[in-house]
Each structure stands twice: as structure tokens, then as C-alpha cells.
Amino acid sequence: MKTSKSICFYHLQQINTVDALTTMGAIPTGFRPSTLFQLLEEGNQFRASYFLQPELTPSQLAFRDLMWDAKTGTIRARPSHVSLILTLWNCKMIPLPGMSIQVLSRHVRLCLFDGNKVLSNIHTVRATWQPKKPRTWTFSPQVTGILPCLLDGDCFLRSNSLSPDLGILFELGISYIRNSTGERGELSCGWVFLKLFDASGIPIPAKTYELFLNGGTPYEKGVEVDHSVSRRAHGSVFHQMMMMRRQPQLLVKLRSLHRRSRNILSLLPEIFIGSMCCIHLLIFYRQILGDVLLKGRMSMQSADFISNPVLATFPTLLEQPDVMDALRSSWAEKENTLKRSEKRDGEFLKAVFLLVYHDCVVPLLHSTLLPPFRWAEEETESARWKVIADFLKQNQENKGALQALLSPDGVHSPFDISELTYDFLGEIRKKAV
């Protein structure tokens, strides 16, 4: 984790770099250092792994958002004030940076926002683009095999905030490297805020929204992304219509929930944003949390460390999407072999999920062959995926990870007790700081 001093220096360096790039004409005047990326760099309080942890009540004697349902024998469903699914369709007319910088990633970051502060984890969805249409970003591309969760444009959102100004903040961004200096950075290419309630407090309708982007940061007003295509252009009605068509925009669809989707989302934390493709794995984690913390503990007053590799390591998967994809792939493969009656048995499914997790995730997380995860580094991402793909293929051929674990070619990091230890009070203390 970066120190506050290094973070401050990094932010100042980014501001100076963006000012220089703007002066040179390398980027549009409305581009800024990414606000949401800076928040992610400041600590874990805006990361999904942070919001996945259970919260204590004010008395510190019970869990506020994790309760046991004796009737169903699992965690209790908890409705939230806001519960919805949205789909990112595409971004159009996004200005291009100059030739002096190389774009490493195009993405959208989104979070709950009340116009003043961020109220949830910050979720990132990477966009794809075609050389013939460089100003258009798209999501959820057609791929062979499973769609990587980082590219999944279908997102769920939950919040218990009662703020009348509650909405979703979308920030379009690029990761870049300067050709002249090799310096890396994150730029915001525009942002937009979609309020979820109208002036009367009624939820906005589930439909597709065409949202025009603002320049600057979410705390600046009246800044345009690119002044060369100003919305304030004067002239004939036809001219104004043509200028509006050239405005940077984001297309988002809010989807209404049917009963099954609402029931599934009610098993997740009360405040959370994530990919729909991972929702079943998040629910497994929550159910295992309930089994261990509520059902299995000898005493509710016990604060002892808990030996459970899944609880100890699963939150790290939210910061390593390629390992999450490996788990998704392994689970889908295993689930296809199960009988229909087995799929209806919740306890049986949990037991099988644990076996898949130990066979797939645990060896990968501690393999020295797997390079550390680094955002928007194509070489590192390719190297990681090759290691993961080779490991999954080996697992499939050998029907498990045992042979790979015992092989002299598979080198693992020295054992550390943290691989098995879940300190739930320690996690909650981190959340309170």
C-alpha cells in the first residue's frame, strides 16, 4: 500500500503532467487526472474487497448485515433501498488523445454518489474498440469461452442510502504511457451523474439513457470535454442538432428486476456494485461466511482467528479478475457434470464449490510462476493468463490440482499462516479506520 506522502506526490505529478499535455495540445482541455482512480490508490476503503466484509452493529456484539435464517438454514435475505441491474452499451464520440501518448486501457469506473461523496465501492469495466471506430467504446464483446469479468458490461448495484440525491457516477478513463518519458498515468475522458430519484422521490424508470459527458472532475461545473464541439454552439437548429450528435456520450440501460433477480441480490452486502457474471460466486462466499461466523462458531463472543482458506483469500480475487475468471471457468465446468437433483441441494453445491476453490484458486494465488497483478500492463496480463490457462489445462487432464502441486516444476511461495487465517475482527477494524 502506498504511503500518504507518496500518494500526494503522485497526485501532484499527475496534475503537472496533465497540465503539460493540455498545453501541448496532446489531450482535450476537459481531460483531468482520474478522480476515481485516485480514490482507489489512497487505500482499500473504495475497493470491492472492503465492502464484501461484514459490518458490526453499533454495539459491536452482532453483525449488522449478516444474519442467520434458522428456517431456511442459510443467511437471511436483506432487501435494500436501491437494488437494480444496469447494462453499459457503448460510449460514442470520445475524443482521441494525441500521438505523444499511448493508450493502454479504455474503461468506465462507476460508483454510488450523492453529488458530494462516494458511497460504495468503485467498479471498473474495461471497454473494447475497433481501429475503424476509435471514438466508439463497446462492452461485453463476443468471445470464445467465458467472457472475462473485467469486460462484462452487465452490473448489479445495491444501496441502503436514503439520500434524495443518490445516483450513479460514471467516469470514462484511459490508462496511458507517455512515449517521450515512459511515465504512466490515468486520465478522465469525461464523467456523468445519473440521479436515481426524481424531485418527488420516485425512482427513475428502467429504460435506456443517453447521457452526455461533462469535462473536468465531478466537483467542477460547466466544463466541456472538448471545447471544439461545444454544446453552447449557436446557429441554425440543424447546426445545433449536428453539434449535439458530435457530443461525447454514454449509453446505459437500467433494467427492472424480476422476483428471482431481486431474491438473489438480497443475499449480497447492502452496499455493493459488481459484475453479474460473478454474482453466484459472491453468494457462495456470503453463505460460507454465514456458516462459519453464525452457524459454526462455538461462541458468538469468540474473537479467535478462524482457519478457512476461502474466507481468508476470496476477497483478493476481486482485485485479480483473471483469477476470478479461472474460478468461474472451473466452477462452470464442474457444474455441468452435476445432476439436476444435486444442483438443487444448496449444501451439496457449497461442498463442491469448496473443492473447486481449493483445486483452482489456492494453488494459483501462491504460485511463484504467476506474476503480480498490474493494471493495464499487457505483457503482465498475457503472462498471467498463460500461467492460468496452462494450470487449468493441467487440472483438467489430471482431474485435480494434486499432481500440479506435487510436481517439481510447480514452485510455490513459502507457506504463511495468513493463507489459512481469517481474522474477521481485523477486517472489520480495517473497515472502521
What pLDDT score does 312 carry? 93
SS3 415: coil
**What tens digit of pLDDT does each residue of 53-75 get?**
998 888 877 888 899 998 888 99
Least confident of 27-36, 340-349, 377-386, 396-405: 396-405
Q: State the amino acid at position 216 in one-letter form.
A: G
Least confident of 229-233, 322-326, 343-347: 229-233
CA distance 266 to 81: 11
User: Do residues 170 and 110 touch, judged by C-beta distance below 8 A?
Assistant: yes
Helix-strand-coil split of the chain, %, nearest 5: 35, 25, 40
SS3 180: coil
Cell 482507489 belongs to residue: 40
User: Do residues 324 and 278 touch, judged by C-beta distance below 8 A?
Assistant: yes
Most confident of 140-149, 229-238, 275-284, 402-411: 275-284
Beta bridge mates, 154: 87
Share of the chain above pLDDT 70, in %: 91
What pLDDT score does 365 carry? 93
CA distance 314 to 324: 9
Alpha carbon of residue 217 to chain centroid: 21
Average pLDDT, the chain: 89
Which pLDDT band holds residue 84 (cuts at 50, 70, 90)?
very high
Q: Is the pLDDT of residue 40 over 70?
A: yes
What pLDDT score does 418 carry? 80
Q: Give φ, ψ of 254 to 5 degrees.
A: -90, 130
Least confident of 236-245, 287-296, 348-357: 236-245
Which pLDDT band holds residue 348 (cuts at 50, 70, 90)?
very high
User: Do residues 161 and 125 touch, judged by C-beta distance below 8 A?
Assistant: no
The grid coordinates listed for 218 are: 465531478
What pLDDT score does 432 carry? 46
Which H helix or E strand runs over 108?
Answer: strand 101-113
Mean pLDDT of 23-42: 90
What pLDDT score does 328 carry? 97
Q: CA triplet 361, 285, 39: central angle to 5 degrees?
A: 85
| Selected residue with higher pLDDT from 11 and 331 | 331
CA distance 408 to 185: 40
Q: Is the pLDDT of residue 430 over 70?
A: no
Q: Is the pLDDT of residue 268 over 70?
A: yes
What pLDDT score does 382 carry? 96
What beta strand segments (E) does 196-334 contain? 208-212, 249-255, 272-275, 306-307
Task: Give pTM, 2 decimals.
Answer: 0.92
CA distance 344 to 274: 25
What pLDDT score does 411 carry? 75
User: Do residues 253 and 86 touch, judged by C-beta distance below 8 A?
Assistant: yes
Q: State the amino acid at position 25 in one-letter form.
A: G
What is the biggest distance separating any 2 CA atoms in the chain, rounded to whole angstroms? 76
Q: CA triplet 108, 118, 47: central angle to 5 degrees?
A: 65
What pLDDT score does 64 carry? 87
